[in-house]
Amino acid sequence: MFFWFICCLVDMWLISASDEICPELPPVDNSIFVAKEGEGQILGTYLCNSGYHLVGEKTLFCNASKGWNAPAPECRYLCLFSSSVGHCPDPLLVNGEFSSLEPVNVNDTITFKCNEHYVLKGSNWSRCLENHTWVPPFPVCKSRDCGPPENPTHGYFEGIDFNSGSTITYYCEARYCLVGTQHQQCIDGEWSSTLPVCELIREAPKPAELELEKALLAFQESEELCKAVENFTQRLKKSGLMMEKVKCSLEIRKADLKAKMLP
């Protein structure tokens, strides 16, 4: 009986004490506050809404003698970029535009478009996810024009216009022959092929080139044209030569013949 009385008294004292002594905490934006009484004090817990993180003490307690142990915390937007006001970082596209100018929320999808003379590289849309990231990642707007290309070693290009649609031509120095694509076009900011190479024309033909020569001879001596073409193609494939190599090889043979004809 006495025990019950003490309990009750303490309880009543606490509740009244908390009413009187614990001041009301200020409301914290973007959070909910859960309070419970227990162990002779009031425990309060702040839970931030999704997309916000807590700065300060998460759980506060108040007792009759001391008041609240800490000031109320803050729920701050979990930002990856300081300019963000929405759920995801503000979209950014240099030399282009995107479909939304509003702060972006979870599951919103935006689309991208590049300005004239620029070409979009990447996805033309992106979605804001729960974890504050954009998936797929933002594209970039690349200029449709190509800069001047490199010169191949022992070679050079001719052409003065490097804008979209323009064409340049590669050449090699004397005694070098070009392997690769000679004429190239600028398409959406990139040259149509990789840089060609200039190969030194060697004096002695390689076995593959001898094989080619044999194939050529066979072709010339053949009477049935269809069969001969087929045979020639087969032999070319076997010798592992690509068409540009063939051209190069022919130049090598020409150079050799010229050299032999000199006294």
**In the window 193-222, what residues touch ligand NAG (CB under 6 A)?**
218
Is the Cβ of residue 45 or residue 231 nearer to ligand NAG in the bound state?
231
Q: DSSP label at 203?
A: S
Contact between 133 and ligand NAG per CB under 6 A: yes
Helix (H, G, I), strand (E, B) or coil at 15: helix
**In the window 224-263, what residues touch ligand NAG (CB under 6 A)?**
227, 231
**Min CB(46)–ligand NAG separation in Å:** 19
Asked if 208 contacts 216 with a C-beta cutoff of 8 angstroms, the reply is no
Q: DSSP label at 90?
A: P
First to last CA, the chain: 134
Is the Cβ of residue 151 or residue 233 nearer to ligand NAG in the bound state?
233
- Out of 25, 78, 106, 195, the only residue in the binding site for ligand NAG (CB under 6 A) is 106
Which of the ranges 90-98, 104-112, 148-156, 191-199 carries the binding residues for ligand NAG, by CB under 6 A? 104-112
Asked if 93 contacts 139 with a C-beta cutoff of 8 angstroms, the reply is yes
**Min CB(32)–ligand NAG separation in Å:** 17
Cα–Cα distance measured from residue 254 to residue 236, given in angstroms and rounded to the nearest whole number? 19
* Residue of 8, 15, 5 whose CA lies nearest to 63: 15
Is the Cβ of residue 19 or residue 150 nearer to ligand NAG in the bound state?
19
Is the Cβ of residue 37 or residue 150 nearer to ligand NAG in the bound state?
37
**In the window 11-70, what residues touch ligand NAG (CB under 6 A)?**
40-41, 63, 65-66, 69
Is the Cβ of residue 115 or residue 133 nearer to ligand NAG in the bound state?
133
Is the Cβ of residue 42 or residue 198 nearer to ligand NAG in the bound state?
42
Cα–Cα distance measured from residue 263 to residue 258, given in angstroms and rounded to the nearest whole number? 10
Asked if 200 contacts 175 with a C-beta cutoff of 8 angstroms, the reply is yes
Residue 34, burial from CB neighbour count under 10 angstroms (0-12, 13-18, 19+)? exposed
Return all residues near 12 (Cβ < 8 A) that are at least 6 apart: none
**In the window 113-132, what residues touch ligand NAG (CB under 6 A)?**
124, 129, 131
Interface residues toward ligand NAG, by CB under 6 A: 40-41, 63, 65-66, 69, 106-107, 111, 124, 129, 131, 133, 135, 218, 227, 231
